[in-house]
Amino acid sequence: MAESRAVLAFTAALILAVAAHDHSGKRHGLPQIMRDLDKCCEAPMPLCHSNFEGCKMKQKSAGGERTPPTPYQRMCMMECAFKNFNYSSGGNIDVEVMKAAFVNSVNSTWQTRARESVDFCLNELKTKFQSSSVPAPPSGEKVCDAIPGFLLICVHVRYYATCSPDINTSGCASNLDKLVKMDYMDLLLNGDSAASK
């Protein structure tokens, strides 16, 4: 199985998290709908790079051809990163440690929203996440817990949703309305193709 450098963006949520600004201020790896929303409100990435450093090293040490990670490889990287929050498979999360990681990844303007977004998404996890609805990975791909990916995507979507009241009256309003109604796992696994449905 080809492994890749985590620096390469993922479609959606490492997107969510591994994607970053380049020197020109452009964001890599986000689905187009999120890049379009950045024109009205540039939401921060939910987690800073330091949360993924060890996970990226594991990917690099695995060797193999350096190709962009598959959605399932991204899911495994998110699971790896969440172990920093004393996360264990099945959704057992140290909520306060997790909140601190998200809060410490954003500037003071976003810290209250980070806390509120984590609370919102933990509730979404209870009411909307069904492990049985996550497609099995292709043959040869590792099976990883989808909950971290669900939470990362959810938090990123909430950042756009709470960005500014002005976004609801701007040219971005229709994209925001579409994004907040999307299924988080569909966005994680299918990126732009999910957004085009």
Q: Residue 165 domain-assigned?
A: yes
- How far is 147 from 161, CA to CA, in rounded Å? 21
Q: Residue 93 domain-assigned?
A: yes
Q: How confident is the model over 35-50, as pLDDT tens digits? A: 888 888 888 888 877 7
CATH number reported for the structural domain that contains residue 155 in this entry: 1.10.238
Q: Residue 8 domain-assigned?
A: no
Residue type, 1: M
| 84 touches 59 (CB < 8 A) | no
Give CA torsion, residues 62, 63, 66, 68, to 10 deg. Answer: -10
Query: 39 CB contacts (<8 Å, ≥6 apart)?
Result: 171, 172
Q: Categorize the per-residue pLDDT at 158 as very low, low, confident or very high, splitting at 50, 70 and 90.
A: very high
Q: Residue 158 domain-assigned?
A: yes
- Mean pLDDT value of segment 110-127: 94
Q: How many domains is the chain partitioned into structurally?
A: 1
pLDDT at 12 over 50: no
More confidently predicted of 66 and 86? 86
Q: Containing domain of residue 132, as a range? A: 32-195
If phi > 0 it is left, if psi is from -120 to 50 it is alpha, else beta; for residue 20 that is: beta
- pTM for this predicted structure: 0.78
Q: Residue 191 domain-assigned?
A: yes
